[in-house]
Amino acid sequence: MRNAYYTQLQNPLGLAIVDLTCMSGKLWEVNRINTPRLHRERGVARELMRQVTHDADAEGATLRLLINPSDGLQWQDLVLWYMRLGFEQVPTGYWVRQPKKVDSA
């Protein structure tokens, strides 16, 4: 796992980023997912999160986050997006994604 996953964007120039903090051992908290507004709806954040979840699965790491809508995003839309990525809400209010088994073949 890394503390940041990012991609340089063009037309207009920008940076999409996911940053994380290792909370303890194999528990990582997703602090921020940001795609500039003009680059949204193009799969940029989905691809970054695919990289994050791939690494988490490979390392047996659990991911957690709190959903905090900003910049015009709606809470329910984010809930559905995170659910598609495998996150589930737990009683603490966090959304958690347990690692998936990785095929060795």
* 7-24 tens-digit pLDDT: 999 999 999 999 999 999
pTM: 0.91
d(CA 95, CA 29): 10
**Which option is the CATH number for 4-97: 1.20.1090.10, 2.60.40.10, 3.40.50.880, 3.40.630.30?**
3.40.630.30
Give backbone dihedrals phi and psi of 33, rounded to 5 degrees, phi first.
-130, 120
Number of CB atoms found within 10 A of residue 102's CB: 10
Whether residue 103 is predicted with pLDDT greater than 80 in this model: the reply is no
Closest among 97, 32, 26 to 68, alpha carbons compared? 32
* 22-47 tens-digit pLDDT: 999 999 999 999 999 889 889 999 99
Sorted by where each begins, the domain ranges of the chain are: 4-97
